Structure 1
Amino acid sequence: MRKPETIEHLYLDFDSFFASCEQQRRPELRGRPVGITPSSDADGMGAGGVIAASREAKKAGMRSVLSQRDALEICPDMIFVAQDPWFYRKMHHNAQAAIKQVLPIHKVMSIDELSCRLGPDHIRDPLGTAARIKTALAEGIGASVTASIGFGPNAHIAKIACKEDKPDGATVWRPEDLPGAMTHIPLGGLPGIGSGMLTRLEIAGIHDMNDLLATSPKQLRRIWGNVAGERFWQAMQGYEVITSKTQRSMIGHGRVLPAAWRGLDEPYGCARMLLTKAARRLRRERFRANSLYVSLKIRRRPGDRDPMRWADTIDLHGAHDDRTCLKALDGIWQRLAQRTAKLPFVNIAHIMVSFSGLESDEGRQLDLLVAQDPDRERWEQVTRIIDQVNLAANKSLLTLGPWTPPPGGNAGGKIAFTRVPEAEDFWEDAR
């Protein structure tokens, strides 16, 4: 384990990326509070979500995902704009090209965050490096899309530093500045500490940054329940922490549904589409799934601001073909129909389908249940042929059963906060 003697990492976080992209291409939105919505379909009940907000909206008090109704209460002059994930993906790649003119990108964390390793010239003049990146971005994608940049001895500290001077700032924390430069930061503002971990720390008597920095690595390991706590201590102390690549634990897709849809039939069609898209990702990333999980938010009356949450799961036994996955969805949907049969009003506001219990498709041995299923291998061959045809056509030319994109656009892709959407995600969108 090595402790750097100087800054070695840069972390860049775009400021309100999705809304800023819209402000860049639409000058009339610049300087105004903008809320990005899941689709262009109007929600007559005012419950449609705002999934991202501009700097101006955040300054007015927008801090998290809200309904449009609640957003307007906070910011009455909010302008709602339907998401355009294809455009954001294009801006992401153009931004990468601009940054690479200044220094190589080491790791893309998400569509709006990335990290870079610093060379000798960047270490000598970090603020000059930040200024050159900002100039390259302004020239490459436009001045409305800004970024905050942090420098530190490791990527973890650089990420904390980049939050210090948002928006459009640059902060340099050298080893000699630490830990003093961080002591004012609340524990909830640190990467890796969510609400659950914050509760654990408080129970352990750790209430602020000074308490955290004074805690031993073994104690943090006990609080975390695994080696991640010890690695967190090392990162906070400025050490270069090298971790092994973790395997993906789940693959899924979600969708906010239009308020005009009622009952179970139309949402079922949307669930089929989401599941098929997720199964394609399983196969592209060479995984099989052992479990399918479906989660719903169900309005039980018009204007319901507190939807009922319902979820169910079913075993898949290492599946990734469309037929097996869709058959499992049918089983879950039948149980949903029984659960909601006596409700006078059913309006599904949100669907999430996800595969978990992932295992590599390479070198896998079939379990007993799969080995006894004569149809499994045949349907896997059918699915491979469907994938080949769709890839050649560069669109969803063939699917098993009906294909029902919901209204409002963006059937193929959506805003992805934790990954960069793939081109295949947008096959359903007309371009």
Structure 2
Amino acid sequence: MSNDLPIRKIIHVDMDAFYASVEQLDNPELRGKPIAVGGGSARGVISAASYEARKFGVRSAMSGRLAEKLCPDLIFVRTNFDRYKEVSQQIRSIFFEYTDLVEPLSLDEAYLDVTENKKGMPSASLIAQEIRQKIFEKTGLNASAGISINKFIAKVASDINKPNGQKTVNPEDVLQFLENLDIRKFYGVGKVTAEKMYLKGIFTGKDLKSKSLEYLSENFGKSGSYYYHVVRGIHNSEVKPNRIRKSLAAERTFSENLSSEIFMLEKLEHIAEEVSKRLAKSKVSGKTITLKIKYSDFTLQTRSKTLPYFVSDKAIILETAKDLLYQDKLNNSVRLLGISLSNLNTEDSRKKAKKVIEKPISVQLKFDF
């Protein structure tokens, strides 16, 4: 590895089926059974599924009706976010025993930089193993982990030996690991992008690596540069204990599909009010307002407008959302509307980001993982 690249030991810890596992922990009668958290109402959407349910194809963000068709014995459980937050805090307290460089991504996953850690342990792999054991002893829940030189590879690795396992990608193995990886396993490559890559003969990291920066930028826009660098092991993003909020949003799923914009205006007013309250609570404003529309066939559409000034006022947010709603005809009846503000004036967003010179990896230096 080149000495002018930052050398880090990064762990990505990801709880296994977190919400569902907490419910099974608290309710012994649910253990070993297919359960879905959320999605129990006529138009509900699943927040999480146990591994027993996943065997039938049930997954998060799926409608409860479809999940029930796939798994007739599925048990629906109401969400209990207060309980999930409580357990999440217990887990994070374990992280801080090892390092203050903890970047939570959600209640159930986080990055840890243990290059220099409070225990003085040289092996990130042993740290991850110890953390997973402590999580189990403290909460009764299983966690998986990925360990490597940067956040991207650590996150990809954490999924390799799920559930209740871990994967270390040593510096000298990074390039081979990425070349052999199915393109669908690359974090940031979604279903649509994967299908587009397949059509262009890109099935593995090796295929992706064979494409030039110009080719990837031409075919995948701004993401092209990201793909070009990560497949070469280049991802210099640091673990940030205080993550920069990039957007703030609120949305609502309706009990019945709405087919006319007129019926949606009242809904938009409530959503705009909620967004305004959240902006005030976070003490931020934003310039870009995005209207999210999910149709009855579950297709998703977004419409955005960037204002010349920062806003947080409900009235302005609502008027802009209305303009976006009337911008084009609706494709179908609507089951969900959402409003988000991005391009926020957070303190960190006003600081100029330092440019990082990106250089390719060499593997001359062995590093104890």
Give the TM-score normalised by the residue count of structure 1: 0.65
Task: Give the structure 2 partner of residue 194 of structure 1.
Answer: 190
Matched, 1:277 2:263: no
Matched, 1:256 2:248: no
**Alpha-carbon distance, 1:129 to partner:** 1.6
Give the counterpart of 1:233 among 216, 223, 228: 228
**Alpha-carbon distance, 1:111 to partner:** 2.6
Name the CA shift for 1:180/1:263 in 2 (closer, same or farther; >3 Å): closer
Task: Give the structure 1 partner of residue 35 of structure 2.
Answer: 34
Deviations 1:324-345 (A, max 9, x none): 3345556778x69xx89xxxxx
Q: For 2:64, give the aligned amino acid.
A: Q
Matched, 1:351 2:337: yes
Task: Give the structure 2 partner of residue 52 of structure 1.
Answer: 48
The 1-side partners of 2:49 and 2:13 are apart by 19
Give the counterpart of 1:65 among 61, 65, 68: 61
Trace 1:25-424 onto structure 2 (pairs within 5 A): 25-37=26-38, 42-43=41-42, 47-119=43-115, 124-140=122-138, 142-143=139-140, 145-217=141-213, 219-226=215-222, 229-239=224-234, 241-242=236-237, 250-259=247-256, 270-283=267-280, 284-291=282-289, 293=291, 295-297=293-295, 306=297, 318=309, 319-328=311-320, 349-356=335-342, 358=343, 360=345
**Alpha-carbon distance, 1:10 to partner:** 0.9
Q: For 1:167, give the aligned amino acid.
A: P
- The range that moved more, 202-211 or 53-62, is 202-211
The 2-side partners of 1:225 and 1:93 are apart by 39
Q: For 2:229, give the aligned amino acid.
A: Q
SS at match of 1:73: helix
The 1-side partners of 2:211 and 2:258 are apart by 53
Task: Give the structure 1 partner of residue 360 of structure 2.
Answer: none
Q: For 1:257, give the aligned amino acid.
A: F
**Alpha-carbon distance, 1:115 to partner:** 0.9
CA-based RMSD? 3.9
Name the CA shift for 1:6/1:86 in 2 (closer, same or farther; >3 Å): same
The 2-side partners of 1:71 and 1:128 are apart by 38
Q: For 1:128, give the aligned amino acid.
A: L
* Equivalent residues, number: 339
**Structure 1: 5+ residue runs without aligned partners?**
299-305, 341-345, 363-431
**Alpha-carbon distance, 1:149 to partner:** 0.4
The 2-side partners of 1:128 and 1:272 are apart by 52
Task: Give the structure 2 partner of residue 21 of structure 1.
Answer: 22
Name the CA shift for 1:332/1:156 in 2 (closer, same or farther; >3 Å): closer
SS at match of 2:69: helix
The 2-side partners of 1:231 and 1:3 are apart by 20
Task: Give the structure 2 partner of residue 427 of structure 1.
Answer: none
Q: For 2:315, give the aligned amino acid.
A: R
SS at match of 1:159: helix
Deviations 1:38-90 (A, max 9, x none): 5x6x32xxx43223211221123224532222212222221101222233223
The 2-side partners of 1:233 and 1:187 are apart by 13
* Residues 48 and 59, structure 2, Cα contact 8 Å, conserved in 1: no
Deviations 1:303-341 (A, max 9, x none): xxx3787877778664321233345556778x69xx89x
Q: For 1:208, give the aligned amino acid.
A: T
The 2-side partners of 1:310 and 1:238 are apart by 33
**Alpha-carbon distance, 1:264 to partner:** 8.6
**Alpha-carbon distance, 1:354 to partner:** 2.5
**Alpha-carbon distance, 1:288 to partner:** 3.0
The 1-side partners of 2:254 and 2:89 are apart by 29
* Residues 150 and 163, structure 1, Cα contact 8 Å, conserved in 2: yes
The 2-side partners of 1:150 and 1:252 are apart by 30
**Alpha-carbon distance, 1:236 to partner:** 3.1
**Alpha-carbon distance, 1:221 to partner:** 4.2
**Alpha-carbon distance, 1:146 to partner:** 1.8
The 2-side partners of 1:27 and 1:244 are apart by 37
Task: Give the structure 2 partner of residue 419 of structure 1.
Answer: none
Name the CA shift for 1:110/1:150 in 2 (closer, same or farther; >3 Å): same
**Alpha-carbon distance, 1:265 to partner:** 9.2
